[in-house]
A and B are shown apart, each in its own frame.
Chain A
Amino acid sequence: MSALVELDRLGKVYSTRTGDVTALSEVTLRIEDGEFVAVVGPSGCGKTTLLKILANLEQHTSGVGILGNNELGANRSDDVGMVFQKATLLPWLDILSNVLLPVTLKRRASAADKENAMDLLRMVGLGEFATKRPHELSGGMQQRAAICRALVHEPSLLLMDEPFGALDAMTRDVLNVEVNRIWRDTHKTAVLITHSIPEAVFLAQRVIVMSPRPGRIVDEITVPFGPERTLELMGTPEFGSLCAQIRRHFEVSAA
């Protein structure tokens, strides 16, 4: 396997009026092509900063980061798909046009692009909603459409920033199963930011644990389950003990 992402002692310092704030410190991380990695940690641990650096929305201030063949921050890479906490669909476009946005920002959407977008929508059960406006869909359906949008231009890296944080627990479970299926179908490299430990363990092959002040990686846990995850898995003792193992990091740092 080859690495898609390689971060070497990556750091980020914000200069504020009251002095410098270290958001990320010495983050060294290697993500293999096709891997699903989850990053967990309490708020303020820099996990969102890490994601924004990977998306080239923010620049790191020290260390080196490589995504694919490009150095992070050097030139803009459009090679990522991003799912935000809110669905962030444009209310003036129908669902199909929303999904096609990453394509239409670069060129005219071809018939093949549209077919590809429709395939994605059908994959998440939204085939019949292509011509609807976002406000006609439920929150879960909107977030499904947002996932399609993040995949439509076939990015090499899928970034998800607490994508289901705003949804109710039941919709969350259903969507987690769906994300697992999409990941198995598309073989996309995925990075999930979450503060839900069970969600991280459920979806990822590897869980990166971060701790705040300054934001740094404190542990990496390989999840021993196979690629296919079902909701029954969440009830097993292995799943529970893995979650407990991760949770202990935060109990210690809180004390």
Chain B
Amino acid sequence: MSTTTSTDARTTSATPRTTPRRRRDAGKRRQVVGSLVVLAVLLLAWQFLPTALGTPSYVVPVFSDVLAALTDPAAFPVYLEATVATMTEVLLGLAIGVTLGLVLAITLAQLPTVYGIVFPYIVAIESIPKVAVAPLFVIWFGFGLSSKVVVVVLLAFFPVLVNTLHGLRGVDKDQVDLFRVNGASPMQMRLRLLVPAALPQIFSGLELAVANAMIGAIVAEFVGAQQGLGVLILQAQGRMETPAVFALLIILSALGITLNVLVRLLRRVVVTWEQH
């Protein structure tokens, strides 16, 4: 048995025109096909298992019911409006949170004493489950857009702050000396050394921030809101329309995945020196 395997391996590697890249591409294609097969199996199970097991539709609806709820032309404008509302909260909160996180990280990285004073508080606040303060923000900022944005800001801010600080403080000492020997100003040091050097970590923070922002927006909508996907989920739940709940979860997943892919594409375009 093992002899056969090793012979196979030798023939493959000896085949003249299979370059390593082509072999890697073939491997990737096989992985994609595999993933699609898994998806198909899961969807088939979702379609047929609930009926076979006699599970009622309000507990686990079959896939075709969810698909029907998702593609219902009457529901489309409602979904669209809610998506716009939720994504406004997410994107606005991300923009503010990420900017604040970056600016504060860059400031703290160059003030070691202040950093030492503030750092324990950053750690402390970071370990609080921040969504728990959402009810408080509804009291403070009302049921409109601002209370949701504030929750998203809080959730997006910390991963960016912590990862950026980590990146800035890990900059190579010789690179810093190189800039000092050549008389770089503090601003040049920041913009031309520290920030570019920290970009890989900044993007790691951004990926976390995006995932957190979605969580923040939905939880804040659960707590108190007039519109948004979180509100629709609660309404569908109230009417026991489980297929609609699943349809909304699919929309949320699609939005989350899209944001994540966008950040990772941006990372590839910006951080060109990173080995993938």
List chain A positions with a Cβ less than 8 A from chain B: 52, 55-57, 76, 78, 80, 82, 84-86, 88, 90-92, 101-102, 105-106, 133-135, 153
Q: Which of B177, B180, B188, B273 makes the CB contact (< 8 A) with A84?
A: B177
**A135 with B174: in contact, given A101-B182, A105-B188, A106-B183 (CB under 8 Å)?**
no
Residues of B within 8 A of A52 (CB): 177
Beyond A90-B196, A92-B199, list 18 extra A-B contacts (CB 8 Å): A52-B177, A78-B181, A78-B183, A80-B181, A82-B178, A82-B181, A84-B174, A84-B177, A86-B172, A88-B172, A90-B197, A102-B182, A105-B179, A105-B183, A105-B184, A133-B272, A133-B273, A153-B182
Find the B residue at minimum CB distance from A104.
B192
The answer for the CA separation of A106 and B142 in the assembled complex, in Å, is 52
Number of B interface residues at 8 Å Cβ cutoff, please give it. Answer: 21
Q: How would you classify the secondary structure of chain A's contact residues: helix, strand, loop or mixed? A: loop
The answer for the CA separation of A133 and B188 in the assembled complex, in Å, is 21
- CB of B182 within 8 A of CB of A78, answer yes
Q: How far is the CB of B93 from chain A (nearest CB, A)?
A: 29
- CB of B175 within 8 A of CB of A135, answer no
- CB of B181 within 8 A of CB of A57, answer yes
Q: Which of A57, A91, A133 makes the CB contact (< 8 A) with B177?
A: A57
- CB of A55 within 8 A of CB of B181, answer yes
Is the CB of B7 closer than 8 A to any CB of chain A?
no
The answer for the CA separation of A133 and B196 in the assembled complex, in Å, is 15
Find the B residue at minimum CB distance from A80.
B181
Is the CB of B85 closer than 8 A to any CB of chain A?
no
Residues of A within 8 A of B179 (CB): 105
The answer for the CA separation of A91 and B198 in the assembled complex, in Å, is 12
Residues of B within 8 A of A84 (CB): 174, 177-178
Find the A residue at minimum CB distance from B193.
A90
Q: Which of B175, B180, B183, B184 makes the CB contact (< 8 A) with A88?
A: B175
**A135 with B273: in contact, given A57-B177, A88-B175, A90-B175 (CB under 8 Å)?**
yes
Residues of A within 8 A of B6 (CB): none
The answer for the CA separation of A151 and B183 in the assembled complex, in Å, is 15
Q: How far is the CB of B224 from chain A (nearest CB, A)?
A: 45
List chain B positions with a Cβ less than 8 A from chain A: 172, 174-175, 177-184, 188, 192-193, 196-197, 199, 271-273, 275
Instruction: Please name 8 pairs of A and B residues whose Cβ atoms are closer than 8 Å in the assembled complex, sorted by A.
Output: A52-B177, A57-B177, A84-B174, A88-B172, A91-B273, A92-B271, A105-B179, A105-B184
The answer for the CA separation of A105 and B178 in the assembled complex, in Å, is 11
Residues of B within 8 A of A57 (CB): 177, 180-181
The answer for the CA separation of A105 and B188 in the assembled complex, in Å, is 7
Residues of A within 8 A of B273 (CB): 91-92, 133-135
Residues of B within 8 A of A135 (CB): 273, 275
Residues of A within 8 A of B196 (CB): 90, 92
Residues of A within 8 A of B178 (CB): 82, 84, 88, 101
The answer for the CA separation of A90 and B174 in the assembled complex, in Å, is 11
**A92 with B183: in contact, given A57-B177, A84-B174, A84-B177 (CB under 8 Å)?**
no
Find the A residue at minimum CB distance from B270.
A92
Find the A residue at minimum CB distance from B185.
A105
The answer for the CA separation of A80 and B183 in the assembled complex, in Å, is 10
The interface centre, meaning the residue of B175, B177, B188 with most chain A CB atoms within 10 A of its CB, is B177
Find the B residue at minimum CB distance from A52.
B177
Residues of A within 8 A of B180 (CB): 57
Find the B residue at minimum CB distance from A55.
B181
Q: How far is the CB of A167 from chain B (nearest CB, A)?
A: 16
The answer for the CA separation of A119 and B181 in the assembled complex, in Å, is 23
The answer for the CA separation of A92 and B191 in the assembled complex, in Å, is 13
Q: How far is the CB of B144 from chain A (nearest CB, A)?
A: 42
Q: How far is the CB of A43 from chain B (nearest CB, A)?
A: 17
Q: Which of B177, B192, B197, B275 makes the CB contact (< 8 A) with A82?
A: B177
- The 4 A-B pairs of least Cβ separation, nearest first, read A91-B273, A78-B183, A102-B182, A88-B174
Find the B residue at minimum CB distance from A136.
B273
Residues of A within 8 A of B197 (CB): 90
Residues of B within 8 A of A76 (CB): 183
The answer for the CA separation of A55 and B177 in the assembled complex, in Å, is 9
